[in-house]
Amino acid sequence: MSPLEPFGARLRQAMDTRGPLCVGIDPHASLLTDWGLDDDVAGLERFTRTVVEALADRVAVLKPQSAFFERFGSRGVAVLEKAVEEARAAGALVLMDAKRGDIGSTMGAYAEAFLRKDSPLFSDAVTLSPYLGFGSLRPALDQALLSGSGVFVLALTSNPEGAEVQRATGAGGAPLAQVMLDHMAAENQGVRPLGSVGAVVGATLGDAGVDLDINGPLLAPGIGAQGATPADLPGVFGPAVRNVLPSVSRGVLRHGPDAAGLRSAALRLVDEVREAVA
């Protein structure tokens, strides 16, 4: 199979045309209940299909959280495979929120699962954890380059516990998060219009206190239920705010199961983000 146009270029176009927003597909038990669905594979499938049909033709990125599908075993993974296929067919980029991190051949197997074009779970990008050392991600970085996919690497996450590791001082005196960001910047050096190696940086952080100029996308969870708003984005991301892709899950999903409600909530957030980062 021939490679796709690089993920960074495809994401830049999607953000500019559809708006800078990533909507998570997080079918956890409480949301299924709120939608009047059973916490089983049938409820999972109904929930997922509704979100994809409502949003895949209008938002830039959909981000399924693989854990909520994996908890149902092979039948849940089959629902995830179908959702990825249908979302991409409708024009959304799919970011698989798997947060994989390992070494050697195991990292290579994760890369093949999510980033090889003939895989049933092939996605436009995947989230990765670099805290076994950034070099441990090399099999995924190489596979992404080969297939035109991207990766989003955890840097400064929105959960309070993350600081224990991410703010710790590395061997050179910089926070470990900055060490990882510097690696990402090196991967993206010279790439236009946008690199394909992105960072995950929480929108709840206030002043991030690190250099976010990585020439790549910045996935920003934390809008909505975690307390951040689109108006907070310039203060967190500064000059890099144009490359920010805010990620929202419950803030949109709670408006289901009505498809019109989901679409209205997503488009309203797109407008708020555009106003905030203009």
Secondary structure in 3-state letters for 43-65: HHHHHHHHHHHHHCCCCCEEEEE
Rounded Cα distance, 269 and 19, in Å:
9
Contact 261, 255 (CB under 8 A): yes
Half-sphere exposure of 182 toward its Cβ, with a 13 Å CA cutoff? Answer: 10
Phi/psi-derived region of residue 24, left when phi > 0, alpha when psi is between -120 and 50, beta in every other case: beta
2: three-class secondary structure by DSSP: coil
In 3-149, the DSSP E strands lie at 22-25, 61-64, 93-100, 125-128
Residues with a known catalytic role = 99
Query: How many degrees, rounded to 5, is the angle at CA 136 between CA 131 and CA 141?
Result: 110
- Report DSSP letters for 132-192, one per residue: T-GGGGHHHHHHHHHHT-EEEEEEE-SSGGGHHHHTSB-TTSSBHHHHHHHHHHHHHTT-S
> What b/e readout covers 215-246, taking b as 16+ CB neighbours within 10 angstroms?
bbbbbbbbbbebebbbebbeebbeebbebbbb
225: three-class secondary structure by DSSP: coil
